Amino acid sequence: MNFPRLAVAAFAAWVAFVALGFLVNTVLLADLYHQHAAVMRPQDQAIRLMPFAFGLSLVGFFAFSYAYAKGYEGGNGIQEGLRFGVLVGLMLCSFAAVWYYLSWPASTQLFLAWVIDFIVEFSIFGMIVGAIYKPRPTATRRGSALSAQPSAER
């Protein structure tokens, strides 16, 4: 596994997460969130928690990139990243968005916005990771070449 490239991919995806999160949550979904303000954390409290949330998100992107690298099948990185991101987005919809919808009084419109957002954003993050991450080709070839040589030549 190529840990330096994995780290760069994780950080790049996290930067995109911060930028897209700002665009989606403060611009595109602002009206929907405003409609739900009565059941949401007050803005001053949310702002105080942002460093914690951003830090945990960075940890999450290292896990995301690591999972991508473990499942990488050797194809086009962007295409594999897209598939991986869609799967992660679908998992988030199944494990998170549906339970947000069940747990607090979110409108169906906000629920559908979360579903679309999770799938689209994580597709983008997957493509970023797929474009940046490349396994170490020499380590794999070197290991298989050494094992193929007769023991007298080693």
Query: What are the pLDDT digits (tens) for 105-127?
Result: 999 999 999 999 999 999 999 99
Q: Could you tell me the pTM of the whole model?
A: 0.84
Q: What is the pLDDT of residue 79?
A: 96
Residue 28 three-state SS: helix
Q: Distances in Å between the alpha carbon of 151 and those of 13, 132, 143?
A: 44, 37, 14
DSSP 8-class letter at 74: S
Q: Which two tokens stand for residue 52?
A: 């914690």
User: What pLDDT digit, counting tens, does each position of 71-104 carry?
Assistant: 999 899 999 999 999 999 999 999 999 999 999 8
Between 140 and 2, the higher pLDDT residue: 2
